[in-house]
Amino acid sequence: MIIKKNDNVIISSGKDKGKKGKVVKSIPTKGSVIVEGANLLKKRQRAKKAGQKGQTVSIAMPIKASAVMLFCGHCAKGVRAGFNKIADKKVRVCKKCNKEI
């Protein structure tokens, strides 16, 4: 999978389209990623102890890796990425500017 943990991505489809965030987890077996602040699911959490109040927490749910684009700092936008061989090393590059991302 081309997207890894800690990558900066932009959501390219769905309800969070256009949102930028950081990948907190990549799930290659499912072809999904979890992006910080994207695809949030609000969940009510019950009080753990008597006397405590339950609270609503937002949990980022996985989204399809195909629905996110890598953010290229050189192009300053979401781009498609590919692999290129630079000095015999396989590196991930932006398909627009050909720079490593």
- Contact between 93 and Zn ion (CB under 5 A)? no
Q: Which segment (3-11, 42-50, 57-65, 86-94) binds Zn ion by CB under 5 A?
A: 86-94
Q: How far is the CB of 73 from Zn ion (least distance, A)?
A: 8
Q: How far is the CB of 81 from Zn ion (least distance, A)?
A: 9
Torsion of CA 98, 73, 16, 28, to 10 degrees: 60
- Contact between 80 and Zn ion (CB under 5 A)? no
Phi and psi at residue 67, in whole multiples of 5°?
-95, 5
Token output for 94: 């932006």
Of the candidates 21, 24, 62, the residue with the CA atom closest to the CA atom of residue 40: 62
Q: Which segment (12-20, 37-45, 58-66, 71-79) binds Zn ion by CB under 5 A?
A: 71-79
Rg (alpha carbons) of the chain, rounded to whole number: 17
Q: Which of 15, 43, 74, 80 binds Zn ion (CB under 5 A)?
A: 74
92 vs 90: CA distance, rounded Å: 7
Residues of the shown chain interacting with Zn ion in the complex, contacts defined by CB under 5 A: 72, 74-75, 94, 96-97
